[in-house]
Chains A and B, each alone.
Chain A
Amino acid sequence: MYTFNFRRASSLEDAQQIHQSSSDAVYVAGGMTLIPSLKLRLANPDDVVDLSQIDGLGAISSADGAVSVGAMARHCEVAATTDIPALAALANRIGDGQVRNRGTIGGSLANNDPAADYPAAVLGLGATIHTNSRTIAGDDFFVDLFETALGDGEIITRVDFPIPKRAAYAKFANQASKYAVVGVMVAETDSGVRVGVTGAGACAFRLTSFEDALSANMSASALDGIDVDSSDFNSDLHASAAYRGSLVTVMAKQAVEQLTA
């Protein structure tokens, strides 16, 4: 690891001030991606700003038909919630037990790993992301590989998930890392059927062709014959783009089967 200054932020204002006054600062939430990156010398910040001492940033609550998850809520805490079983089940399959005890939803979303699970939940459930300065629709949040709509120094404070009528998440996990090779969240919400896909592309996306088909007929067979364009999909030693394309349909069908069971 390169050297850096470890800075504890006492409040959101303090965190942003430290960030602004540094030539190169990075926030650390749970650190499940950042710390391995630092150890591999893939990151070399001057200042690492710890968000864990900020009061109230990890609270989870339910009101007005939505579950509000504080940015510092750990995956294990989301896994223990009951209002959106599909979200809890998704959180319970992130990484391993020790990772779920440290990793946070805010950190995961801000990092926007193409194989992370939460982005599929944000898109599939139509979540809203709140930051220290504004509100961002989940549909506008994921921009590209490891790139989000967050501005420089902006901090996610909470994520609001509207409670769906029914929802399910199916994931084909990498056996070693448990990251999603492909993961699909299918949800029937007040604003219609939504399908969020992670793992397949540079960042998570909605699949409107699936949404249209499932709006007409919420059954796995409704997805038969719908072409998934995999030309821009990720291709690596774990899976080719075409294989991921095939998995999108298979995982979506599994999610629909779970949701209608």
Chain B
Amino acid sequence: MGQQIVIEPISRIEGHGKITVTLNEQGEVADAKLHVTQLRGFEKFCEGRPFTEMVSLVERICGICPISHSMASSKACDQIMGVRVPDAALKLRKMINFGAFIQSHALSFFYLSSPDLLLGMDAEPEQRNIFGVLKADPVFANDGIRLRQIGQQVVEWLAGKRIHPSWVVPGGVNKPFNAAFKDDIQAILPEGVEIVQRALTFFKQSIGKFGEEIQTFANFPSLFLGLVDQDGMLEYVDGRLRFVDAAGNTIADQVDPAAYQEYIAEAVESYSYLKSPYYKPLGYPEGMYRVGPAARLNVCNGITTPLANKEWAEFRNLAPKGPVLSSFFNHHARLIEILYGLEMLDLLLKDEDILDQNIRAIAEPNFQEGIGVVEAPRGTLFHHYKVDDNGLMTWLNLIVATGNNNLAMNRGLLQVAQHFVHGNKLTDPAINRLQAVIRAFDPCLSCSTHCLGTKGGAIQLLAADGELLDEVS
């Protein structure tokens, strides 16, 4: 009879999760699974609400990336109203989104993952946290705190509040940009660029120490998905879908996000509340794809800003013939994206349009359906709404960034378990690496579970031959 090893909870991620590793009769790793153990229910309790409340309602999905949800939601609502959002509002929405990316990526890199990167995967567990980092390298830790502050400060100067602002609304934003903050934002950007460049140097220098991790952290062929602009360059808010295969061939390009259902379907597994989206033409589970920072850099033709583009070229040189396959490099990609955000903010601040007072299009609901797709820090985010004639929500589907990576996270876990778990005991280095591979995806489990799964929460007792011995549901 096989044996099962459980790690619960997974530390230093957003939300709650559990890992189980199943051994076969020879005591070798047979399977590993990530279980997302919580349920949110947004897709149910938003039914019946006016669509005008949706932007703020879905922001409550998360305290780290509320802005991403407000971006996708407002785009879906813009479509329901059938309006053309004023240019100033589009640019201001992009600005707040860049602020949110900076703070979210800084959180992931410095607060959650840097203890592994700076102190090493095998450092003492009690030291392997942000306080340990503060002790070991105060400048590095302060850099992280300051960088996150820069991102949050941009959000606050634009929206009046750092977490859950109600500034982004269907049709635009509800207050013009206060010109007094223009210089303030401009003033803090150079410091951010310096911090990211220091962090990039640190990351590149330490890559050598993580050979084993790079080799095993979800390092396998898969598809990649990300949004790109009309020239194929990196884009977060206004892009179209591009799928790239493991050899680097573009298999679907410039797909209208409104047609996402032709390319993506969602499977439900009994071991997790998190659904498993897959690339429909390849079927389940062969249609496994990855999203997120590394996936975005893998699918795009480049980045429109000079410093980030230079780093992008270097990143792509890690795997000159195709996409960078190891999810360990999500950390690297995150830093490049912070740089892109800082450069873009600088560009947008120089645009006269952002001070325009025309910032909102007003309309009744003119269409019964809206689909908003954006890139969130953790990957592509889909909001799909349907409303009745009066604008009350009748149905919604959310495919949240982390969900897209579900299949890949499970595959990554198995890969790490097979490499690091030996015998029937879990060693500390193995435990940390099992968690670290999940952390590399920076999953937000609290964000990602929405639909009431029909079978979620089942506990299965499986014999090594797969026979079902007992079940509790």
A and B interact physically = no
Interface residues of A (CB under 8 A from B): none
